[in-house]
Structure 1
């Protein structure tokens, strides 16, 4: 285990409203991570360092949803030993959409987009 992705647990309806509000406020980046169909963790204003982990098409970590008690949590685990000063990355696995988000990870196996 590397770190838990923490923030406010919200429903999809609230996430949609917040995403629009963040855009209107010029926040630029929002940190919304889907747990399941109904639940999203919003780390935009009250998250931890996990929200700053970048995407890579060849990541050294992966995100896993676990259940503790009755609460679902997102935990980042390493795939391999990670060296000092090595960037921590995982594959965001964004859903496929018509508008592609360019990937700039630089991996030899880069897909070219995050979705």
Structure 2
């Protein structure tokens, strides 16, 4: 285990409204879907895990685990991580229409070119 992705747990139906609010204020948005019903919003009150970048060849992975009846998002190491090495994981964004493709700039040898 490397770190927990923590923040405020909100209902999925509120994420679009929150994202629009953050955009209107020029605030970067950091949200991570737990499941169909809940999302962790780490934008204002989250752990440092929100700053972990995406990579198509990551050194970490994320999992939703159950702790005392609550769902938690945890980042785990895929391999030994060297001191000073950037932490990365695959965001695994859902596939969207071609016009909505999000470009990937991870720089990995086998980069998929898109986050979704």
Same fold (TM over 0.5): yes
Match of 1:46 in 2: 45
Match of 1:31 in 2: 30
Match of 1:104 in 2: 105
TM-score after normalising by structure 2:
0.96
**What is the rounded CA distance, in whole Å, between the counterparts of 1:19 and 1:105 in structure 2?**
23
User: How much has 1:48 moved relative to structure 2?
Assistant: 1.1
Consecutive unaligned residues in structure 2, runs of 5 or more: none
Q: Output aligned runs, 1:15-94, within 5 Å.
A: 15-27=15-27, 29-94=28-93
User: How much has 1:23 moved relative to structure 2?
Assistant: 1.1
**What is the rounded CA distance, in whole Å, between the counterparts of 2:9 and 2:78 in structure 1?**
26
Query: Structure 1 segments of 4 or more deviating over 2 A?
Result: none
Give the number of equivalent residue pairs.
114
CA offset digits 1:11-65 (Å, max 9, x no partner): 01221210111111121x2001000000000000000110000000000000000
TM-score after normalising by structure 1:
0.97
**What is the rounded CA distance, in whole Å, between the counterparts of 1:62 and 1:80 in structure 2?**
10
Match of 2:7 in 1: 7
